Amino acid sequence: MENKSLLIGIIAIIIGATGLGIGIFSVINFQVVEGPQGPPGQDGDDGIDGIDGIDGINGTDGLNAPGYFCNSRVDVQNAIDTIGSGSGTITITENITLDSTIDIDQGGDYIIQGECAITVDCGDDRTAFNIIDVRTCTIRDLKINATEISWITNVIFINTTNDNPVYIQNVQVIGDDLGQGIMVDSNNVWIQNCYITDFFMGIYLDKNSGSCHILDNSIESGIYLYSSDYNTLSGNNIKNHGYEPNGISVSWSDYNTLSSNVIDDVYSDSSNARGIVLDHAESNTLSGNIIGNVYAESVAYGIILYYSNLTILSSNRVNNIYSDSSNARGIVLDHAESNTLSGNIIGNVYGESIAYGIRLYYSNLTTLSSNRVNNIYSNSSTAYGIQVYNSDFNTLSGNVIDRVYAVSFSAFGIFVYSSQYNTLSGNVIDDVYSASLSASGIYISSSQYNTLSGNTVINIYSNSSTAYGIFLFDTPDYNTILGNTVAHINPVGSGYGIYLVSTADYNTVIGNITNDIKSDGIYDGGTTNVLANNIES
């Protein structure tokens, strides 16, 4: 009886307000949303029972939330303003075209949802939803058409003053290659099961954001983080055909986790293309991601770390990295320190110019372990399985490099240049081929104090020149070559198992095995090297 009286009172207030000319909705339906039965209240002194417990919005307890059924932008805005700091569910019942932005700014608990396949059209170069002040907010089950926006416009802009939870669920956002689909400038945002396409940036987490969850979305315009920390990006399917496209870009952002994302079809016909790029980022983790079909007219990258340190890359797959006129690079560390790469698979890297499986460039204290690099191909320049360039104190262990091919220049399984104090142990290099110049399994040049131990180098071949299992070239001093196995070096030209040039000094070559070598198992052109207990057959 008391509930019935309360409902009659509410209806009376609405009718009275309408009579005064201040009616607020084209369609109004205050609907009681039943929550589960709460515990009975305690008896008071007068013996009257307490009020039953009631449901909240997104886990927040509060009054039973009324429902608002709206068919225009004005209806939606009025419903938000009426809910105020309370709770309510707003259902958009018809397709609507906006004449201004919907501002969610009253500090309450809001659910805004579409009924069936409802489209919200931005109607011009404008933001659809501007989320400013909420206790919680959920936008779900909508399609937003934003084909008329400009470069700087955000279709959904989340910029809350208090970092309370915001949920964007099952929303389609369609653009025309400009602007941002969802712009986040707050903490504690969840974007899940959305489809976002044809923007300059699909999802952009800006400098005031953090602790966000980007989960299980399909995004055809990339995900971008700038100065945004402690985020989780997982289970997303990403494509990008934009200008200088990236699948995922993490800039000046730390402690983020990227896992189980599929980045497929990142394409540029005029510039560079990258699957994942970390730029000045610290302590991020990339695991179980699949990056495939990255194509660039200029340089194509699977993953690049640029001035980014303390990163863990584990069990990622990088496949089909292709450049039609320049370089192709599977995983690159550029001026990056103290990173760990383990269990990654890099395959089918094709460069019209240089091709790299893994490249360390001015990068120190890196651990590369148990990675697989195969099918690295250069048509008109050099092919590298792993390149270590001006990089010190790195450890390469248990990696497998097979099928490194160069048509016009040299091919290298592992290439070490101007680098000191590196350890190469237990690696397997198989099938390194050059059609025109020399081929080397492991190549050490202008490098000192490196250790090569327990590596297996087999099937190194040149169709017109010399092939080397292990080649020490151009002042490679104070290196240790210990317990390696080199076999099947039978090129058209000369073939050597281990070769030290005349400028190689104070190197130690002990306990190595060479077998089936065309010319010499071990050739020492220097005068101060130590050779002992090697077996040549």
Using one digit for the tens of pLDDT, what is the confidence trace for 131-184? 999 999 999 999 999 999 998 999 999 999 899 999 999 999 999 999 999 999
* Mean per-residue pLDDT of the chain: 90
Boundary of a domain, candidates 221, 255, 273: 221
pLDDT at 117: 87
Question: Is pLDDT at 2 greater than 80 in this prediction?
Answer: no
CA 6 distance to own-chain centroid: 53
Quote the percentage of the chain above a pLDDT of 70. 88
pLDDT at 65: 73
Whether residue 519 is contained in a domain is answered as yes
How many structural domains are present in the chain?
2
Whether residue 305 is contained in a domain is answered as no
- Which residues form the domain of 522? 382-537
What's the average model confidence in pLDDT over 13-27? 35
pLDDT at 320: 98
- Cβ neighbors of 103 (< 8 A, separation 6 or more) are 77, 80, 130, 132
Whether residue 144 is contained in a domain is answered as yes
Q: In 280-427, at which residue ranges do the beta strands (DSSP E only) sit?
A: 285-287, 290-296, 300-306, 312-314, 317-323, 328-334, 340-342, 345-351, 355-361, 367-369, 372-378, 383-389, 395-397, 400-406, 411-417, 423-425
Kindly write down the DSSP assignment for every residue of 79-130, as one continuous string: HHHHHTTSEEEEEE-S-EE-SSPEEE-SSSEEEEEESSS-EEE--SSS-SEE
Boundary of a domain, candidates 221, 256, 282: 221
Could you tell me the pLDDT band of residue 18, with boundaries at 50, 70 and 90? very low
pLDDT at 53: 36
Could you tell me the pLDDT band of residue 64, with boundaries at 50, 70 and 90? low
Whether residue 58 is contained in a domain is answered as yes
Whether residue 289 is contained in a domain is answered as no
Using one digit for the tens of pLDDT, what is the confidence trace for 71-118? 999 999 999 999 999 999 999 999 999 999 999 999 999 999 999 889
What's the average model confidence in pLDDT over 250-274? 96
Question: Is pLDDT at 6 greater than 60 in this prediction?
Answer: no
Whether residue 303 is contained in a domain is answered as no
What's the average model confidence in pLDDT over 270-286? 97
Boundary of a domain, candidates 221, 239, 265: 221
Whether residue 259 is contained in a domain is answered as no
